[in-house]
Amino acid sequence: WLTNSTPYPSQEERSGLLNMTKIAQGGRKLRKNWGPAWVVLTGNSLVFYRERPPQSAPSQGWAPAGSRPESSVDLRGAALASGRQLSSRRNVLHIRTVPGHEFLLQSDEETELRAWHRALRAVIERLDRE
Ligand code: I3S
């Protein structure tokens, strides 16, 4: 939905299963469609997979081998905020990228979402300083 290009290699910072919905693409509002996604945070991107790659798959650098990301977004200049006002769900994060792609990430585990918030903030702040 965003780009078919593969993000350039960058180290994985965090990965896990989250609920995700896009809410805008290129500034145009989309209808919500919540669903599970295997999310990988690298040093510069957030990459979405339809499902968790097999545990046995050898990692090829940053990418789970044998699986293609469904989509990815460049986090440089992205805005990160609570998604509280945008959803009735609890523990929701809102991310808006420079090209105006927006999505929500959610977990029923508060500690899990907090950890994602910290990790995303660290990556975005690091990119801001570069
Ligand atoms: O922000 P909204 O429109 O209240 O979001 C809800 C709707 O998108 C709803 O879909 P339909 O209006 O297409 O039936 C979804 O099923 C809900 O999950 C959305 O709200 P939450 O609060 O779950 O983000």
Digit-coded pLDDT (tens) for 35-65: 999 999 999 999 999 888 776 655 555 555 5
- SS3 letters for 17-64? EEEEEEEEECCEECCCCCEEEEEEEECCEEEEECCCCCCCCCEECCEE
Q: Is the pLDDT of residue 116 over 80?
A: yes
Ligand 1 pocket member 29 (CB < 6 A): no
What's the average model confidence in pLDDT over 19-34? 97
Q: Is the pLDDT of residue 81 over 50?
A: yes
- The whole-model pTM stands at 0.86
For the CA of 32, the closest atom of ligand 1 is: 8
Nearest residue CA, atom 6 of ligand 1?
32
Q: Is the pLDDT of residue 105 over 90?
A: yes
Structure confidence at residue 5 (pLDDT) = 47
